[in-house]
Amino acid sequence: MTRLVVVGSINMDLVTVAARFPAPGETLIGDRFVSVHGGKGGNQAVAAARLGAEVHMIAAIGDDAFGDPLRDGLASEGVSIEHIARVEGSSGTASITVANGENEIVVVPGANAQLTPAHVSKAQQVIASADAVLVQMEIPLETVEATLRIADAQRVPVILNPAPAQPLPSEWLRLARYITPNQHELATLLGADASEDFRSLMRRAPCPVVLTRGGEGAWFREEGEPQHQAGFDVEVVDSTGAGDTFNAAFAVYLHEGLPIAVRKACAAAALSVTRLGARGGMPHPAEVEALLARQRV
């Protein structure tokens, strides 16, 4: 069984479904509202657990009404919550509008901003025994850096999902075994022009890159020329959490080799968009295998 540590955010997602996005200053009547558990870190932890991994989460929740349900939701998915700290103040929230399968998200970090390098340090032992660590960027950058350094010192590979993106020092990127940006995130990360061809950006990155392209699948490059994995054809209900499912599946299947991990990650991400909510469509292994058998892309 793959053993993963996820260092990242946990949010309450306040999701409104509407026929289209409102214009600035416009009030629009929506179709539906749901509040569901999210956050890139929590989502990646749940997706990996559903795919059969043993998952330990390092995160922070607030002492508000959202905190305990968010933590209990992770526990009910089989994620270890031993390293989830309860801090003073609000839990993270995300206001999400979904229209025609696309989403717009505003995140208020809340407790996620209080996840410190000390929290990661305290969990060193669990990191040392992991097959891989997954970290995103909805937590303080100093905590991302601490995760990269602590895992590197223990020789544990880190998959850095640079979302939401900010420019990062090359030295940090070299500590990651893989980075998993989309095109916009990779350009931001490298401080490059957003119009630069993504293949050229991938060649310039100081570490191996797995670049997600939504419905077009993913590109990956360890060294040499970037390779392409086509996307799977599904009916899109809500794309929220597709990137998180991709990252989790990539980490879970990495022991099968890079091309297979990317293919299975594309399949898992495709399944994730077929239901509402970041975690709504996250698949179990049998669903991934069934899609792979149905569509030989």
Neighbours of 164 (CB within 10 A): 13
Position with the least CB separation from ligand RIB: 38
Alpha-carbon distances of 83 from 39, 44, 71, 244, rounded to whole Å: 16, 16, 11, 20
In the complex, the smallest distance separating the C-beta of residue 225 from ligand RIB, rounded to whole angstroms, is: 29
Nearer to ligand RIB, 19 or 108 (CB): 108
Q: Residue 233 and residue 227: Cα distance in Å, rounded?
A: 20
Peptide bond into 285 cis (omega under 30): no
Nearer to ligand RIB, 221 or 246 (CB): 246
In the complex, the smallest distance separating the C-beta of residue 119 from ligand RIB, rounded to whole angstroms, is: 18
Torsion, CA 193, CA 197, CA 202, CA 203, rounded to 10: -100
**β-pairing verdict for 3-7 and 158-160:** unpaired
Alpha-carbon distances of 98 from 31, 59, 80, 109, 167, rounded to whole Å: 10, 26, 30, 20, 28
Q: Residue 116 and residue 114: Cα distance in Å, rounded?
A: 6
In the complex, the smallest distance separating the C-beta of residue 112 from ligand RIB, rounded to whole angstroms, is: 9
Quick one: tokens of 76? 């009910």
Q: Residue 258 and residue 122: Cα distance in Å, rounded?
A: 31
Of 110, 117, 119, the residue nearest 89 (C-alpha): 110
Sign of the four-CA dihedral 89, 5, 206, 150: positive
Q: Which residues bind ligand RIB (CB under 6 A)?
A: 9, 11, 13, 38-40, 43, 94, 105, 107, 138, 240-241, 243-244, 278
Q: Tokens 């989309």 map to which residue?
A: 182
Nearer to ligand RIB, 4 or 278 (CB): 278
Nearer to ligand RIB, 11 or 182 (CB): 11
Q: Is 244 a catalytic residue?
A: yes
In the complex, the smallest distance separating the C-beta of residue 231 from ligand RIB, rounded to whole angstroms, is: 18
Nearer to ligand RIB, 80 or 247 (CB): 247
In the complex, the smallest distance separating the C-beta of residue 38 from ligand RIB, rounded to whole angstroms, is: 2
In the complex, the smallest distance separating the C-beta of residue 96 from ligand RIB, rounded to whole angstroms, is: 6
139 φ/ψ angles, rounded to the nearest 5 degrees: -125, 170
Catalytic positions, written as ranges: 244
